[in-house]
């Protein structure tokens, strides 16, 4: 672990975990927004670029998710639950559900690309698994969309809980996942 990953407050996550969290949040938001609007783009090169960007960022999310899980199970800092009882249980269920929804959405997105086939940035084509099976294309596409919407709603709930801790309960739960600013007087 590098010195950049070490924090002096044991009640905060390490720098790498914080960065991975916010990169994941940004990717999920951008991917969801692009997924909701990709068909609004005019057919042709612009839509191909939008869909290709969605697929490429989905692959980036898959890599970030893999690295994040590796980091979390290894060197990443684990913190005790912020609450107790039912609150801690709900937080644990939401976190597990977030990871499961992330994994499911990414896996279904990759499957959707493979089942449907696609043109990526006009550079190469992903051949369709079963080009004439429109029912399979629809089922996989619908499942991917359902998982993505569930993930986005769950992430919004997670964010709202963090904001509620900060603004209503006025505790330090949100600060656990915020980047720390260096104190210029401390150096």
Residue 24, in any domain of the structure: yes
Residue 84, in any domain of the structure: yes
Are 37 and 45 spatial neighbours (Cβ–Cβ below 8 Å)?
no
Of 153, 65, 139, 132, whose CA–CA distance to 108 is shortest?
139
Instruction: Output the average pLDDT for the chain.
Output: 90
Q: Return the pLDDT at 123.
A: 97
Per-residue pLDDT tens over the stretch 144-176: 999 999 999 999 999 999 999 999 989 888 988
Residue 71, in any domain of the structure: yes
Alpha helices by DSSP H, listed for the chain, are 15-37, 45-73, 86-116, 134-164
Residue 2, in any domain of the structure: no
Pairwise CA distance, residues 144 & 81, whole Å = 31
Domain count of the fold of the chain: 1
Pairwise CA distance, residues 105 & 166, whole Å = 29
Residue 68, in any domain of the structure: yes
Pairwise CA distance, residues 12 & 14, whole Å = 6
Residue 88, in any domain of the structure: yes
pTM: 0.88
Residue 170, in any domain of the structure: yes
Supply the CATH number for residue 175's domain: 1.20.950
- Domain residue limits at 175: 10-179
Residue 100, in any domain of the structure: yes
């Amino acid at each position: 672990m590098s010195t950049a990953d070490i924090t002096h407050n044991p009640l905060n996550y390490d720098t790498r975990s914080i960065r991975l969290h916010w990169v994941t949040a940004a990717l999920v938001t951008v991917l969801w927004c692009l997924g909701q609007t990709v068909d609004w783009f005019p057919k042709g090169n612009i839509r191909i670029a939008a869909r290709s960007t969605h697929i490429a960022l989905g692959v980036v999310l898959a890599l970030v998710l893999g690295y994040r899980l590796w980091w979390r199970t290894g060197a990443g800092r684990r913190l005790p639950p912020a609450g107790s009882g039912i609150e801690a249980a709900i937080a644990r269920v939401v976190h597990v559900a977030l990871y499961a929804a992330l994994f499911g959405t990414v896996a279904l997105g990759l499957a959707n690309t493979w089942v449907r086939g696609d043109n990526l940035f006009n550079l190469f084509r992903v051949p369709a698994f079963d080009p004439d099976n429109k029912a399979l294309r629809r089922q996989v596409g619908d499942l991917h969309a359902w998982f993505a919407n569930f993930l986005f709603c769950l992430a919004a709930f997670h964010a709202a809980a963090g904001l509620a801790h900060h603004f209503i309960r006025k505790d330090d739960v949100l600060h656990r996942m915020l980047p720390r600013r260096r104190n210029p007087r401390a150096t």
